[in-house]
């Protein structure tokens, strides 16, 4: 098996797992927010919105930085950074005790995001 084929198989599996993980977390995030306190319906709406939005806001801000760094230092290093960071952050989300800790971790999740686009760029650059 050639190097690009091995990378394709590993990155396909990683992308599949990351995609499934995000798909499974998102529908239940508001229910998790509700378990973190006694919120009115309005507060729950605001906190759930903040919890969703902070990740994507940070992704929009740091993606150019990670792309530039991947071009300079290598995509594999950035894939390791992203996968390790997300694994740690998502694992820690199960231990939060209040909404602000969850929002902070969602902020960090956005900071470490970028696995799927980086994996796609690496495969596009390597495959014949």
Which pLDDT does position 22 carry in this prediction? 81
Which pLDDT does position 6 carry in this prediction? 93
Q: Distance (Å, rounded) from C-alpha 47 to C-alpha 69? A: 33
What pTM value is reported for the model? 0.88
Q: Distance (Å, rounded) from C-alpha 73 to C-alpha 66? A: 10
Which pLDDT does position 110 carry in this prediction? 94
Question: What residues in the chain have per-residue pLDDT under 50?
Answer: none
Which pLDDT does position 108 carry in this prediction? 96
C-alpha distances in angstroms, 81 versus 5, 32, 33?
Answer: 22, 27, 27
C-alpha distances in angstroms, 60 versus 1, 15, 30?
Answer: 37, 20, 22
CA atoms within 13 A on the CB side of 1: 8
Q: Over the stretch 92-126, which tens digit does the pLDDT of each residue have?
A: 999 999 999 999 999 999 999 988 888 998 999 88
């Amino acid at each position: 098996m050639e190097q690009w084929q091995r990378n394709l198989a590993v990155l396909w599996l990683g992308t599949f797992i990351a995609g499934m993980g995000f798909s499974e977390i998102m529908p239940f995030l508001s229910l998790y927010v509700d378990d973190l306190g006694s919120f009115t319906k309005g507060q729950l709406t605001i906190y759930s919105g903040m919890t969703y939005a902070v990740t994507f806001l940070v992704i929009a801000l740091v993606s150019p930085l990670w792309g530039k760094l991947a071009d300079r230092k290598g995509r594999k290093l950035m894939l390791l950074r992203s996968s390790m960071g997300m694994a740690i952050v998502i694992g820690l989300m199960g231990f939060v005790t209040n909404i602000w800790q969850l929002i902070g971790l969602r902020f960090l999740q956005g900071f470490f995001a970028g696995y799927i686009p980086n994996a796609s760029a690496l495969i596009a650059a390597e495959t014949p």
